[in-house]
Structure 1
Amino acid sequence: MPVTQNPRREFLTRAVLTGLAVPSLAIAVPQPFLLMQEQKAGKNESSEEISPAEDLMREHGLLNRILLIYDEHLRRLNAKQDFDPAILASAADIIKRFVEDYHEKLEENYLFPRFRKAGKLVDLVDVLLAQHQAGRRVTARIQQLATATVVKDAAKRRDLSDLLQSFIRMYRPHEAREDTVLFPAFHSIVSKNEYDSLGEEFEKQEDELFGEDGFFKVLDQVASLEKKLGIYDLSKFTPS
């Protein structure tokens, strides 16, 4: 014969387990219980791993925002307007530290060799690697020119304009090809376990180089530069 649960007791039990307030009965949910639930929820949230492709693609989003900073400097150079070279220097520094020395190294050390070994998209990988190398040369020149002396020097302004234009022109199709061709194909040349472990490795390296939540720290730096340039407000890019 089934045991009949006391309705009142069942309600009180559910109230405690779900954290419901029961004013008329003046029942307080034990604080340690609530704390335990919060800690459990926090663990569940933090345990969600970012896949390698998602990690690399959000870094492309950060790169795109720096390209917008480059775009704005290019606009001011072509319009013969003044600009603060320190902002451009900071943007180029992020390109060097985060994009070239970290993001591209992940691609070169973990993706490109696997595509070569699988004999897949090798021609594309060759072009992407050559563009990484070309981009580093351009960044080095931008860093050399992003100084106070360039503002009043017409020849240096032209050189800087050409460098920014070439960098932007190369990297927009570069990252688009990676996002739409290379990264989706990566699933087909590695096992699920290897794919998942690479996601963990990418996060580990990011934390080692930039600290915990390193991506978001760098993103904050980019946003700060956007605000200084007056291009942070997304609505300003909406056509009238």
Structure 2
Amino acid sequence: MGDLNSPAVRRRDLLGLSTAAMAGGAALAACGAPARTAAAGATSPAPSSPGKESEVPVTPPEDLMREHGVLKRILLIYRDGIRRIDGGEQVPAQPLNAGARIIRDFIEEYHEHLEEQYVFPRLRKAGKLTDTVSVLQLQHRRGRVLTSRILDATAPSKVPDARGRRALVTDMAAFIRMYEPHEAREDTVVFPAFRDVVPPKEFLELGEVFEDEEHRRFGANGFTGVVDHVADIEKTLGIYDLAQFTPRV
């Protein structure tokens, strides 16, 4: 997944920058001389150059929606696997297994954990989208079953026969069919409702909770490291170049 332990600047570190306390004589300030600190007599830091601004923190829905981008890219990997198998090619077991592993580690055990711990309970407590939340949680459970099958079918020790190839295609197709509407409903309905029911202060605090959990699980690079790993799989399959998806008109 790349070097997940390399140094990285945290968003809240950027937001936590403070200016040095200034102590200078009124006469010096009036004549334009640089003010100095009382303790060390050092000149004050130069003002930030134009365009340099503190990074805006990522809100919980934005965090969850960009993680859906990772999910979408794995669905493309599954689609390419289906295309190859249906075309009589060898099962691309290693790339498919790597993609399913990201689904297991990043989507199911991290992303869905955040939804189930922080998003769904608040909607239920507010009496909003309770039926939708129940369906989404059931789909999480069914998705984990499908992921387990895909991981097993693409394990290094497996050489799937014709029946195994058909079963793998069926499971990947079922996963795609379920998660496309699943993530679309969350992005357009569930996450906006979540924002409405959470007080602003708690909403910002949850952003920090999500950030901390991301780096605890995936190291300093967090989300960026996962995206890099997805890109590596895409390159292996020859589907990384975005231009190839542009239709001729």
TM, length-normalised to structure 2: 0.78
Cα distance per residue 1:114-137 (max 9 Å; x no partner): 111111100000000000000000
Runs of 4+ in 1 over 3 A off after TM superposition: 147-152
Select the residue among 181, 184, 195 that pairs with 2:192.
184
| 1:18-97 alignment runs, 5 A limit | 37=48, 41=52, 44-45=54-55, 48-97=56-105
Q: Is the 8 A contact 2:153 2:164 kept in 1?
A: yes
Select the residue among 100, 105, 114 that pairs with 2:108.
100
Bigger relative contact order, structure 1 or 2, given CA contacts below 8 A and separation 6+? 2
Q: Does the residue aligned with 2:90 lie in a helix, a strand or coil?
A: coil
| 1:165-176 alignment runs, 5 A limit | 165-176=173-184
Cα distance per residue 1:93-141 (max 9 Å; x no partner): 0000000000000000001111111111000000000000000000000
Partner of 1:21: none
**Distance between the aligned counterparts of 2:153 and 2:159, measured in 1?**
10
Partner of 2:137: 129
| Deviation at residue 183 of structure 1 after TM alignment | 0.4
Identity over the aligned pairs, expressed in percent?
50
| Deviation at residue 83 of structure 1 after TM alignment | 3.6
Partner of 2:148: 140
Q: Is the 8 A contact 2:77 2:234 kept in 1?
A: yes
| Deviation at residue 151 of structure 1 after TM alignment | 5.1
Q: 5+ unaligned residues in a row in structure 2: which ranges?
A: 1-30, 35-43
Q: Is the 8 A contact 2:78 2:96 kept in 1?
A: yes
Quick one: which amino acid aligns to residue 76 of structure 2? L
Q: 5+ unaligned residues in a row in structure 1: which ranges?
A: 1-8, 17-31
Aligned length in residues: 213
Cα distance per residue 1:158-217 (max 9 Å; x no partner): 000000000000000000000000001112111000111111100010010001230000
Select the residue among 132, 155, 163 that pairs with 2:163.
155
| 1:198-213 alignment runs, 5 A limit | 198-213=206-221
RMSD: 2.7
- Cα 1:149–1:239, aligned 2, differ >3 Å: closer, same or farther? farther
Whichever structure has more helix as a proportion of its residues is 1
Q: Does the residue aligned with 1:212 lie in a helix, a strand or coil?
A: coil
Quick one: which amino acid aligns to residue 76 of structure 1? R
TM, length-normalised to structure 1: 0.81
Q: Is the 8 A contact 2:91 2:165 kept in 1?
A: no
Quick one: which amino acid aligns to residue 121 of structure 1? L
